[in-house]
Amino acid sequence: MKYIELLGLPGSGKTSLLRSFRRQGIAGQAGTTVLSEDLSMALRRFGYRDVGFSRGPRSRGFGILRADVLRNHFHDGWQMGIFAEYPELFSQVFLCLKTVRPEDRQRAILLNYWRSRTSLYFDVNCSTSPSYCLVDEGLSQSVFSTMSRMSTRLDQKLKLVESVLRCLPSERTVVMLQTPSELIELRAQSRKKSSPKDLSRRIAELDFIFQQQKKIGRDTIELDGSLSIDELCTELGAFINKAG
């Protein structure tokens, strides 16, 4: 199963795009769309690897045997096995978390992001299905969430983040949603929310994450976030269909 993840600033429209993409079914019925707000992802954060196993002999979506899901839950309820699957990646993640201030459980929250999103990637990657899984909050977004909370010198931050990016699984497609900062600020005002702090810094960090993945040869594409949702859905669907 092909894993495709969106990358973008908060307010860039990632979740809105995938909501519409799911509703319209543009790329057909062959794929799966996973949103961070879905119950399945909420349950992953509590340790459930797959919630579809009770609906049949095989877990819905990723083709994992029901017995394997039960075994994973009872023997590894908090998915610590995910750390064992990707030890090099998590060794670098912990070095980044060391520079995050511990107030308000920021380290624990970020680690839970990493654990639940990596478990989703692992299940998708293990599937032999010829379809795709499209997510709004994936591994690249976890890097951004971590980077934006790191408190250290810029040169050290860039070095640590680059090490994490090199350890991310290569079998991924990263879709960068390039949304103008003016549009992000306008959306924040319409929702009566404050725009992200240090927006220019965050834009630079996001671009660093995307460009580094291009540099090391990851599969990447860019979408113009100033387009309408319908136009973005059409472009995203065309890419997925072209990619097979």
DSSP letters spanning 134-178: EESS-HHHHHHHHHTTB-S-HHHHHHHHHHHHHHS-SS-EEEEEE
Looking at residue 154, its pLDDT comes to: 95
Structure tokens at 96: 């980044």
What is the per-residue pLDDT for 192?
63
d(CA 187, CA 9): 12
What is the reported pLDDT for 77? Answer: 58
Query: What tokens does 19 get?
Result: 């909501």
CA-closest candidate to residue 98, choices 165, 44, 164, 10: 164
* Distances in whole angstroms, Cα of residue 216 to Cα of each of 90, 146, 156, 162, 212: 19, 20, 20, 10, 6
Q: Average pLDDT per run of 10 along the chain, which is 244 residues long?
A: 94 93 72 89 78 37 55 61 92 97 92 93 87 94 96 96 97 95 84 70 95 96 95 92 77
Give dist(CA 168, CA 148) in Å, integer: 18
Residue pointed to by tokens 């654990």: 115
First to last CA, the chain: 11
Q: Which pLDDT does position 130 carry in this prediction?
A: 81
**Domains of the chain, first to last:** 2-38+89-243 (3.40.50.300)
pLDDT value of residue 171 = 93
Please state, in angstroms and rounded to a whole number, the distance separating the CA atoms of residues 15 and 3.
Answer: 16
Give whole-number Cα distances, 213 to 6, 136, 164, in Å.
Answer: 13, 17, 11
Non-local (6+) Cβ contacts of 220 within 8 A are 173, 174, 175, 176, 210, 213, 214
User: How far is Cα 228 from Cα 236, in angstroms, rounded to an integer?
Assistant: 12
Q: What is the pLDDT, as a whole number, of residue 51?
A: 44
